[in-house]
Amino acid sequence: MGRVEGKVALVTGGASGIGAATVRRLAEEGAAVVAADIQDDKGETLAKDLAGEGLRVAYRHCDVTSLAELEETVASTVSEFGGLDVLHNNAASTGGGYVADIDPEVWRQSLAVMLDAVFFGCKAGIPAMLERGGGSIINTSSVAGFYGEMLSAPYATAKAGVLNLTRTVAIEYGRQGIRCNAICPGAVDTPLLALIHQVSPRTPAEMADMHALGRCLEPREIANVVLFLASDESSAMTGASLVVDGGLTAGTRITGFPQAGGGAYR
């Protein structure tokens, strides 16, 4: 028996990065999974490849900025697989700059993809979960939800909003069997990080060195945490914000001392 055997999951932003890794991990552990995205080629290829491995995976085109499309995707998931037990609101966007220079349309689009869409996902998914007697919602926030970040006001603002939306869903629906938690990744090797590398004054090696582990993270490592939150192993957890950042935010490193190489620093 897998850790989410018999459960039905929906993952937004499921065609690449953390989303695709999560689709695979949930399916490997026994869930029927729908990957929702607007990257149709990637999503359809992912579903075909995983189905070829004997896993129950389907792809659905879904613009998460549309409540109607999310409601349709939830309805399709319920129709095909019999219900909804796990919802991973994971879609992301890019766009930023200095606050006074940000195009208002870039601001609105960023919040639409990363904050409005989480609300829409919850609004569409909660009724289906209530029909099953409960479920688990996992929202992708970020360590940027706790701290400001240069040239990233839309991203950081949306991710901060996700944290309090997560807490609110948790306290409103906990007694009806629905748990809601957020994950807060650091730098993960995804297409979004590749875009950051193109504009960041830090080299990839310098960025990796900022983590206590000395490296950026892999999507599967984040997917493993989503799997835990989706499973009954995390039955006591709701309203939590799990930092999964390889030690990126464990300290300020303001002194500039190097990490010990296995022994005490001298």
Architecture field, domain 8-243: 3-Layer(aba) Sandwich (3.40)
Task: Confirm whether 265 is a catalytic residue.
Answer: no
The sheet carrying 178-185 orders its strands as: 57-61, 32-37, 8-12, 86-89, 135-140, 178-185, 241-244
Which of 10-19, 207-216, 229-238 is predicted with the least confidence, judged by mean pLDDT? 207-216
Q: pLDDT (tens digit, 9 = 90+) per residue, 11-69?
A: 999 999 999 999 999 999 999 999 999 999 999 999 999 999 999 999 999 999 999 99
**Burial annotation 209-233 (CB, 10 A radius, 16+ → b, else e):** ebbeeeebbebbbbbebbbbbbbee
Mean per-residue pLDDT, 133-161: 95
Residue 167, classified by CB atoms within 10 Å of its CB into exposed (0-12), middle (13-18) or buried (19+), is middle
The pTM assigned to this predicted structure is 0.94
pLDDT digits (tens, 9 = 90+) for 163-209: 999 999 999 999 999 999 999 999 998 877 777 777 788 888 888 88
Query: Helices 17-28 and 219-230: crossing angle, nearest 10°?
Result: 50
The whole-number pLDDT of residue 201 equals 81
Reply yes or no on whether the pLDDT at 101 is more than 60.
Answer: yes
Task: Report residue 117 as tokens.
Answer: 């869409």
CA 238, CA 48: separation in Å to the nearest integer? Answer: 33
Give me the catalytic one of 59, 98, 147, 155: 155
